[in-house]
Structure 1
């Protein structure tokens, strides 16, 4: 327990960023090597390389150009991407200009400070400057007055990070996550500077300890490295979406997940036996609460040995998994990196014989205590060791498992001052040894990469799912992430919103939090509010800790159970919308949970909103995050908004107090939007929606909009060979008519649909006619035919059923 002893007046502490530094300049030599330019200064050198049309890599090193060989490249950055043409340099009395394509870097000779512009000389970034000190490097960048700082991955606090300070050092943090916590499990060193709708990004590719300080000086930020080079990638905007899309082009984008991973998931530390797991699944089905996955925490293992099942608690894992699959439920077991030192344990013997574990500087296997006791740790910097680890997952896939949960992979080490591996532990790094202090933040990414690739090799074309606690830039290519050991605090419910928005702006689209809170014990009210928000999280998992109250949806009485059922079912009805958003993330890198600043860049009133978010580009979600609260203020960005539940029209550009009793989550739709839905199911089947309900939210004015729906089989990698569909829905709305169209842009996946149901919301009166379609007596009668229309006066909805075909057009006369 921490006490006031921590702030004794004699406890002075010197931070790395407080140490004296010296600027690199003045410049003394320029060398153009065609694909890179080296500018040597008195105290350091800068190496410029292009990493795409809108991204330039500017590395700061201590050596002169004559000593600079190829710079290290970590797994965060995808190979290739540089310009096809050579770099051009222009030197004047006071400056050096380096240019290629869309970017130009102007370096002042005296200080070696630099700014990036477009070819016309318009500034795309603020001024930056590199410094060197005793055993560390520093970057300083200007912060425009009134600007916001976003990104920085998994950090606590509000959306705008200006005035904060964070340390990129993956840490197992069991203490309550509070706003002044500088390190958590994920380290994503990408900073996004945003001002008046224009943005640029700075990614520092160094997996050692990095400090981002936006607190010491309001006019600039400082980035301090304890090890290695200052390897910076600057990405030009101008918009936030441009920056995120180009950053993810550099570090990679998520693959399409299996559809079941988009469903509701239930977990606990731990479900203690096979029978408890089966009874849990049967209860979900009996209560008709949708569920697609149940997690197994460490107690499923034999004395916490990974790649084992406890023979007493789980005597027939294959039989259990088979029965769960019949119920439509997958199993996701936890896999930690610590391998128990036990000569009777085959995984340890084999890894030790092959020399696949991390080493001390003396050449012995590093030993540390975790759940199994004294353990050793695979060296994921080594390709052979990683492949060995990945192939071990055949143990799970042969049982019918296709999802794995990576935990404790910071890596966490007990009874050790650093709570992780010693900094001087050595990673083989494919023949180029590197210390753990230099490579630490890569460990979780390396484990997830090995796991994902191993699962791919053994699943025969089925998509794997990996969930990880620790990661680094690029983790989105291999795993979803969750925000670790939160608590059943209302503050932690609220904290997920800005945390997820900044994770999204750091390239991680597939993220979630432990619904209900992990540690502490939740209440029924908190579980309801968290489930409501969690239904709109990309990852939707309820998880609770050992010795806390069980928090499955039915544990707090019938009212809580019913509300949770409604919102989990709503998530399943909206799966076509979520799955399409996953596809957009895989193609463009844009996140699913988005800040208002990202979606409405011209509206400064939304730049710092931390307590509501956009779900895709059309749904505004405003969770209630305080106890015993039935009202909250919602900010509506410019435009027209429609209450998802009531159909009430609301003008944007204003704050409004809304009523939200326990059973209500405020959800709003941008007028003129398409929202695809489907019939609710108890679990997912495939993403070729048998029942496709395309809802169009009619506005009060004239609208023109388009929406592209994505669908595939939801389970295999065949979509990579082009076996998917994209359907483009269009709307042209005027005072007297509404023209709706759909067409297949790409059609190579055969779904089972016979018709598509179009639902026009907010039709105040029955249409006069719909060209070419017959009026059917009622909405219920319309369900029995493949073509026609009906009007629901109570709900003010017009339902139009049209046959499934390549192309269709509907003209509605108001």
Structure 2
């Protein structure tokens, strides 16, 4: 590991002092050492014997790789002064350990200005994350009603943050970097971040000096099925068959602890193992009564395109009843009569653990591990070392060393620096509306420590009081809303405790509820290309997929109050519904829309931001707002899993302004994305008064297995009927199907769908759409048509008059179909609908509909949007 350096120092003339020239060493002043890592980040060390630590710490694992930074170093009247482009550090030379009197960092260029000294407390830290949501109900622990502590994040409204790395463990230089104690445990080691309200710059700096946020394999962005249940081989095959039968894509199958034997362990103690832990959780030998031939099952699951993970509780170690026991003890040259306690800090123990126990299971077909550590917090061999933190590092790094697949683990948050080991398992949250309402905030706030891939038990894990029969049934509305949040989460995974009443398979619900659940999963897959692209951006920049509103609007107080909503990547604002609806099936919900224009996907309209935006949402509706003019890459066929994806992509172009974006792609499941094995396709849209130009640029870059051509489509959202569509200079014709080289306007949501001719990657494709000068304004029209359809369906179900629904009302409910039937009469059909819409009340009255039903009908039109 090279020395951390203050490199390429800018040398400025100074009449009173001699500036330090560029050097490969940090700035040392007596027993103090200062290293400028970025213009906003300075490391400050104090050692009584001037022996400083150069090894990477568990938190700052990559600071030695920081690029050259320009800074000026002066000695002014007994003070060492280091000036970067942002910060000025002053230290009284020879004055000893750091105090408020001899050390300070200031900046007048940041907003707010910075004036820090040791001992100064942050007043407005924006929080980090917590190890687990086990038995958390909303934001409080169920046991004592205390608030869940999210700890400190890297960003604060104060504009600065100090990470105290004093006494932390460091990594050695072995092939598998191992943990060591520092030579000097009491030496001060501070890293100061000064950024004002440029929060994203601070996160990017942290990624630079602490390691990037890894991109999970592409399959991890699909749907995960998990349930604590003693599934058997045939039951898992039936489960997969049901997902296929109902057209619900699935990419990851999680098999909980019952995959291994949990009985027959009384040879040590009937209840405790040699570590004093509860027995039965740890196991590595297949339960052959459930899985007679596990290799055949894993092979079959792989043939279905599924990745499989198994649950591990390693605390009890490898015990004599395990199939791998003899090989494990032989690898350690240990006496098989004396079982060894588990110890993750022992490199020899862990090497044997992997080579003789886990690697053979991996070779059998296990894709990655669900590491469910719930036992003692610290290593027994190395007190102070978090077992959770270190296990994450060891498991993830071991998978990287295997070299064949992209590293992925599934575990709990271990502390700062654990962002390098995705994915997080948030644990056993209480099933309640409060828990659902808290999870958007919890997920977004974790981005403040770069922990961008929390995976929650969607639908909640367990009831607060499992003994109460009244609470042992799942609430379909709560589950659907939780799944909707999950579709717009980093990882979409259902899970539940071992309760026969908590069955979350979509096909077990009523038809309308099933439709909502299936559509939610399809929504996840529709936007997966965009989600994966934003995952790459998190790796490049440190800005996570799910991020708080104040990243983009740090000077708006409203952004800090909007804790129930978040940005999902660059262009999507998601505001999940987290409260129960009324008797009519609507939930009143408010969203803070930032300044600018936003496209309301629920209502099909461009709306102005800088205000609170209220609406009433049906069970199948989610408040998602696109940045006006956004161009979003999506999957053309969302009904297939990642494993079966053929690569056809549809660009969704939203009205309201010009847009720029990109589609990121790589091989999907290897580590070469970290170097240069990936491709990017630049996308742009340009609107004029009656026209739109969409450009798909030539692909830049390459990766193994990359196809030579692609079937693109373009969906222009909220469109009137065009007069012409030209692709690469060739006019396309209208068609009622989606064949290449044709287009159609879909009446139900007024989406103009253009299927482009299949095209090579090496040249651009340009789509030009022109509308008539007198095209009708369709802003909000899709929402109005939907509201009428829904209101008429309600009327039919609640009014038993033999005369039925009045003619003009019935026709208004079929406006989308009339547009499909007569596209050449688009303007006339829109005008007819609007006339009928304006006269609905009168038509209902003339049709004999009672006043109370007319009032309810009108209310169901949701005019409050």
Summarize the Cα distance change of 1:488–1:514 in structure 2 as closer, same or farther, 3 Å threshold: same
- The equivalent residue for 2:541 is 588
Paired with 1:330 and 1:47, the residues of 2 have a C-alpha distance of: 48
Counterpart contact for 2:283–2:322, Cα < 8 Å: no
Counterpart contact for 1:251–1:474, Cα < 8 Å: yes
Q: What's the CA shift for 1:388?
A: 3.9
Q: Aligned to 1:400, which of 347, 365, 368?
A: 365
Paired with 2:209 and 2:674, the residues of 1 have a C-alpha distance of: 20
**Deviations 1:305-348 (CA, angstroms, capped at 9, x unpaired):** 44321122222111111222233322210122313463454656
Gap runs ≥5 in structure 1: 1-30, 131-138, 155-169, 210-226, 358-363, 368-373, 414-419, 428-435
Q: What's the CA shift for 1:74?
A: 2.2
Q: What's the CA shift for 1:235?
A: 2.6
Paired with 1:447 and 1:503, the residues of 2 have a C-alpha distance of: 20
Q: What's the CA shift for 1:505?
A: 1.9
The yes-or-no answer on 1:292 pairing with 2:247 is: no
- The equivalent residue for 2:478 is 526
- Between stretches 787-796 and 704-713, larger displacement belongs to 787-796
- The equivalent residue for 1:416 is none
Summarize the Cα distance change of 1:69–1:791 in structure 2 as closer, same or farther, 3 Å threshold: closer
Q: What's the CA shift for 1:753?
A: 4.5
Q: What pairs with 1:256-655 in structure 2 (closer than 5 Å)?
A: 256-303=215-262, 304-340=281-317, 342-345=319-322, 376-380=341-345, 382-391=346-355, 392-408=357-373, 412-413=375-376, 420-421=377-378, 425-427=380-382, 436=383, 438-440=384-386, 443-458=387-402, 461-520=404-463, 521=472, 522-547=474-499, 549-629=502-582, 630-655=587-612
Q: What's the CA shift for 1:51?
A: 2.7
Q: Aligned to 2:651, which of 678, 685, 694?
A: 694
Counterpart contact for 1:635–1:655, Cα < 8 Å: yes
Q: What's the CA shift for 1:470?
A: 3.5
The yes-or-no answer on 1:111 pairing with 2:100 is: yes
Paired with 1:465 and 1:122, the residues of 2 have a C-alpha distance of: 38
- The equivalent residue for 2:685 is 731
Q: Aligned to 1:49, which of 35, 39, 52?
A: 35
Question: How many residues align structurally?
Answer: 687
3-state SS of 1:554 partner:
helix
Q: What's the CA shift for 1:286?
A: 2.1
- The equivalent residue for 1:722 is 676
Q: Which has the higher strand share?
A: 1
Summarize the Cα distance change of 1:474–1:466 in structure 2 as closer, same or farther, 3 Å threshold: same
Paired with 1:624 and 1:500, the residues of 2 have a C-alpha distance of: 15
- The equivalent residue for 2:194 is 236
The yes-or-no answer on 1:740 pairing with 2:694 is: yes
Summarize the Cα distance change of 1:265–1:793 in structure 2 as closer, same or farther, 3 Å threshold: closer
Counterpart contact for 2:110–2:195, Cα < 8 Å: no
Counterpart contact for 1:594–1:616, Cα < 8 Å: yes
Paired with 1:764 and 1:317, the residues of 2 have a C-alpha distance of: 56
Q: What's the CA shift for 1:654?
A: 1.2
Paired with 1:340 and 1:751, the residues of 2 have a C-alpha distance of: 46
Paired with 2:100 and 2:145, the residues of 1 have a C-alpha distance of: 31
Counterpart contact for 2:725–2:770, Cα < 8 Å: yes
Q: Which has the higher helix share?
A: 2
Summarize the Cα distance change of 1:282–1:798 in structure 2 as closer, same or farther, 3 Å threshold: closer
Gap runs ≥5 in structure 2: 1-19, 170-184, 263-280, 464-471, 772-865
Counterpart contact for 2:114–2:194, Cα < 8 Å: no
Counterpart contact for 2:138–2:432, Cα < 8 Å: no
- The equivalent residue for 1:673 is 630
3-state SS of 2:698 partner:
strand
3-state SS of 1:532 partner:
helix
The yes-or-no answer on 1:77 pairing with 2:64 is: no
Summarize the Cα distance change of 1:294–1:142 in structure 2 as closer, same or farther, 3 Å threshold: closer
**Deviations 1:256-300 (CA, angstroms, capped at 9, x unpaired):** 322221111111223343233222222222222222122112121
Q: What's the CA shift for 1:603?
A: 3.5
Paired with 1:240 and 1:83, the residues of 2 have a C-alpha distance of: 20
Counterpart contact for 2:369–2:410, Cα < 8 Å: yes
Paired with 1:543 and 1:184, the residues of 2 have a C-alpha distance of: 24
Q: What's the CA shift for 1:530?
A: 0.1
- Between stretches 108-117 and 563-572, larger displacement belongs to 108-117
Q: Aligned to 1:663, which of 620, 636, 641?
A: 620
Counterpart contact for 1:687–1:712, Cα < 8 Å: no
Summarize the Cα distance change of 1:122–1:81 in structure 2 as closer, same or farther, 3 Å threshold: same
Counterpart contact for 1:172–1:184, Cα < 8 Å: no
Superposition TM-score, scaled by structure 2 size: 0.72
Paired with 2:676 and 2:100, the residues of 1 have a C-alpha distance of: 52
Q: What's the CA shift for 1:775?
A: 3.8
- The equivalent residue for 1:224 is none
Q: What pairs with 1:74-153 in structure 2 (closer than 5 Å)?
A: 74-79=57-62, 80-81=64-65, 89-92=73-76, 96-99=80-83, 103-107=87-91, 111-112=100-101, 114-117=103-106, 126-130=114-118, 139-143=119-123, 148-153=124-129
3-state SS of 1:267 partner:
strand
Paired with 1:651 and 1:242, the residues of 2 have a C-alpha distance of: 28
Summarize the Cα distance change of 1:718–1:250 in structure 2 as closer, same or farther, 3 Å threshold: closer
**Deviations 1:359-397 (CA, angstroms, capped at 9, x unpaired):** xxxxx99x9xxxxxx9822233x5444444444432222
- Between stretches 684-693 and 708-717, larger displacement belongs to 684-693
- The equivalent residue for 1:812 is 769
Paired with 1:81 and 1:731, the residues of 2 have a C-alpha distance of: 38
Summarize the Cα distance change of 1:86–1:710 in structure 2 as closer, same or farther, 3 Å threshold: closer
3-state SS of 1:192 partner:
coil
Counterpart contact for 1:203–1:232, Cα < 8 Å: yes
- The equivalent residue for 1:219 is none
Counterpart contact for 1:321–1:400, Cα < 8 Å: yes
Q: What's the CA shift for 1:49?
A: 2.2
- The equivalent residue for 1:766 is 722
- The equivalent residue for 1:203 is 163
**Deviations 1:562-592 (CA, angstroms, capped at 9, x unpaired):** 2111101110111111111111112212111
- Between stretches 519-528 and 574-583, larger displacement belongs to 519-528
